């Protein structure tokens, strides 16, 4: 075999030629060899291996990203919040199932529709500002606005919009997360309303003491004046008007306290027919000359157990609302019957009395009916209504174990029905007998402790009228002096809140001097406020100002008629009723 030198360089490789011969030495061809070619092929092989490895890694990353994409899509599809993809102009490109459901639409219905078309008119400025802020500004924006579904009621959403940038030369888009906060907003509104009611309750309790003291003087003086004049005297009518006005003011104070405290009040058996008939005259004054009053009272409807002042106030509130719904006149009808609420079924008719207030006014649209009993909600102009009347009516009806129902259509008037549970009728005669009974009195000695001179003087006059021997003191310190004079005091009637020593402290001190002494407290403050410090123990009797002579007579006699012996194991040496 002969090697032929070949010294040409090609692509940095030295090449040789080798002659190929057969067995006899005859040349049959040549073999070319190149130094360095093997190295180049090895490099290519290594590069291919690296490329394959990179390809596998890239495939793994792609598969992982695809799994994440599928997971994100599944999550967006399954989440309860609405998800939208829109252009920068707000036109919807994609929607998840929740968004379609909350907007009462299919995805096809939403695709191509502008989100702005679904935003309530009053929220459009905020929506437009949000889009504008995302056009050139930050990549994320938030807002709260009301959406209008293709069918159904409007609802409030908390919206978060994120701007996603696209490849160079392409327009980006917006990704929206929409959360329905209608229920949460309603709960927050209820909480704020409850806080406002609590503030009203505290304010009411704060002024009740002074206001009730004034009413006690007005009512008491009017009662004494009526007893002093002849039945046929012309001034008697004027005095009676003063007394009735004072009693109505007392009822209003009690009703406001009842609303803020949700108290039971003084419930007694009532015939609703009697209440309605007795209110006819005042109702005609309230509704005016343009509205006629019609009574349609059922026969033998039975009685309910309720506070008469609360029933009257509910009727007045509903009558005022009915009058306002008939600005051009109409008819107001009050009717009673033994009927059951729709929720109870017809078989329960003998267990309820229905008091219905019907007007021929303009009626109510569905959105007003839905919010009718919300505290502070009113369709009246500012200064013309508080929005508390119907809320109070609903609260009082529920406290009585009753049901309230509303039937109203726009242009067809409104009927509000109060269904109150029946009680046995026999108790009415007993209540009436108590009202005409002689006032209970006595000849015992009573010490009156009251810092307000006018109230003290009125209380002393009432007790003397009942036959009692009365001593008086303007403070706890003075009461201790009077008690120390040894005048045989049988009962101490003391105010609770006084300058210096309180009524509680006075009672404890007197109890140490004379164990078993009878104590009756009086106050114009709500009972709950008196118990805030823990002093109002169970078993203590308290007569609330402003009280009438009948109420005072009953309470004083009840305390005095209790056995003198101390109860075994009683913590306090004072007999507090």
Q: What are phi and psi of 520, to 5 degrees?
A: -125, 125
Q: Which residue has the higher pLDDT, 359 or 249?
A: 359
Which helix (H) or strand (E) element contains residue 100? helix 97-102
Domain map (residue ranges) of the chain: 3-74, 79-180, 264-434, 435-576
Please identify which residue in the block is written with the tokens 């009993």.
Answer: 373
Rounded distance, CA 452 to CA 115, Å?
68
Written as six digits, the tokens of 423 are 């009680």
310 near 255, Cβ under 8 Å? yes
* Predicted pLDDT of residue 84: 93
How would you classify the pairing of strands 518-523 and 491-495? parallel
279-285 average pLDDT score = 83
Q: What is the pLDDT of residue 431?
A: 40
Rounded mean pLDDT of 113-133?
Answer: 92
Return d(Cα 518, Cα 557) in angstroms, integer. 11
How many whole angstroms separate alpha carbon 390 and alpha carbon 290?
Answer: 23
**Is the separation of the CB atoms in 526 and 261 below 8 Å?**
yes
- pLDDT at position 571: 45
Angle at the Cα of 298 from the Cα atoms of 296 and 301, rounded to 5 degrees: 145
CA separation, residue 540 to residues 241, 527, 559, 562 (Å):
35, 11, 10, 13
Helix H or strand E encompassing 566: none
> Looking at 123-132, 188-197, 253-262, 468-477, which range is the least confident one?
253-262
- Topology of domain 264-434 in CATH is Heat Shock Protein 90 (3.30.565)
Listed range (62-66, 89-93, 194-198, 233-237) with the worst mean pLDDT: 194-198
Question: pLDDT: is 444 or 243 the higher one?
Answer: 444
**Sheet harboring 155-164: ordered strands across?**
92-95, 82-87, 173-180, 155-164, 140-147
Rounded distance between C-alpha atoms, residue 391 and residue 372, angstroms: 8
Cα–Cα distance, 192 to 17 (Å, whole number): 102
pTM for this prediction? 0.45
What backbone torsions phi and psi does residue 395 show, to the nearest 5 degrees? -65, -40
SS3 312: helix
Q: What is the model's pLDDT at position 386?
A: 41
HEC assignment per residue over 458-499: HHHHHHHHCCCEEEEECCHHHHHHHHHCCCCCCEEEEECCCC
CATH 3.40.50.2300 holds for 435-576: yes
Strand 303-306 to 140-147 pairing? unpaired
CATH class of 79-180: alpha beta
Q: Is the pLDDT of residue 253 over 60?
A: yes
């Amino acid at each position: 075999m002969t090697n032929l030198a070949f010294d040409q360089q090609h692509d940095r490789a030295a090449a040789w030629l080798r002659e190929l011969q057969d067995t006899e030495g005859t040349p049959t061809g040549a073999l070319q060899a190149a130094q360095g070619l093997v190295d180049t092929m090895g490099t290519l092989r290594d590069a291919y291996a690296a490329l394959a490895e990179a390809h596998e890694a890239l495939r793994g990353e792609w598969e992982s990203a695809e799994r994440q994409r599928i997971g994100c899509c599944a999550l967006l599809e399954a989440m309860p919040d609405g998800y939208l993809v829109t252009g920068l102009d707000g036109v919807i490109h994609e929607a998840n199932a929740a968004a379609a459901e909350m907007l009462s639409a299919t995805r096809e219905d939403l695709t191509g529709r502008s989100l702005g078309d679904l935003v309530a008119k009053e929220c459009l400025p905020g929506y437009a500002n949000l889009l504008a802020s995302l056009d050139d500004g930050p990549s994320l924006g938030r807002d709260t606005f009301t959406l209008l579904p293709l069918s159904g009621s409007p609802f409030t959403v908390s919206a978060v919009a994120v701007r996603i940038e696209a490849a160079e030369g392409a327009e980006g888009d917006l990704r929206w997360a929409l959360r329905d906060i209608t229920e949460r907003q309603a709960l927050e509104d209820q909480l704020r309303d409850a806080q406002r009611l609590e503030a009203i309750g505290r304010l009411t309790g704060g002024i009740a003491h002074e206001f009730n003291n004034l009413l006690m003087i007005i009512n008491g003086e009017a009662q004494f004046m009526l007893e002093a004049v002849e039945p046929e005297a012309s001034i008697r009518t004027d005095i009676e008007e003063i007394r009735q006005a004072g009693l109505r003011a007392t009822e209003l104070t009690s009703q406001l306290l009842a609303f803020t405290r949700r108290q039971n009040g003084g419930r007694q058996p009532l015939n609703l027919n009697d209440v309605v008939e007795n209110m006819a005259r005042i109702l005609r004054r309230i509704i005016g000359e343009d509205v006629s009053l019609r009574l349609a009272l059922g026969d033998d409807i039975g009685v309910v157990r309720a506070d008469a002042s609360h029933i009257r106030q509910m009727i007045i509130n509903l009558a005022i609302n009915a009058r306002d719904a008939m600005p051009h006149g109409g008819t107001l009808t009050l009717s009673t019957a033994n009927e059951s609420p729709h929720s109870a079924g017809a078989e329960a008719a003998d267990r309820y009395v229905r008091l219905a207030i019907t007007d021929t006014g303009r009626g109510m649209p569905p959105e007003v009916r839905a919010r009718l009993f919300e505290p502070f909600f009113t369709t009246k102009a500012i200064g013309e209504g508080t929005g508390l009347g119907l809320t109070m009516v609903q609260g009082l009806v529920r406290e009585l174990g009753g049901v309230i129902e509303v039937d109203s259509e726009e242009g067809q008037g409104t009927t509000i029905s109060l269904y109150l549970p029946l009680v046995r009728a026999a108790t009415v005669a007993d209540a009436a007998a108590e009202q005409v009974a002689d006032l209970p009195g006595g000849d015992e000695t009573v010490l009156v402790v009251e810092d307000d001179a006018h109230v003290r003087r009125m209380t002393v006059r009432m007790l003397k009228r009942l036959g009692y021997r009365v001593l008086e003191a303007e403070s706890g310190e003075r009461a201790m002096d009077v008690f120390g004079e040894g005048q045989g005091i049988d009962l101490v009637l003391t105010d609770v809140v006084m300058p210096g020593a309180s009524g509680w402290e006075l009672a404890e001190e007197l109890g140490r001097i004379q164990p078993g002494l009878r104590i009756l407290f009086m106050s114009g403050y709500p009972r709950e406020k008196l118990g805030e410090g823990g002093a109002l123990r169970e078993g203590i009797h308290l007569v609330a100002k402003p009280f009438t002579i009948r109420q005072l007579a009953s309470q004083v006699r009840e305390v005095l008629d209790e056995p003198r012996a101390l109860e075994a194991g009683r913590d306090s040496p004072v007999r507090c009723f």
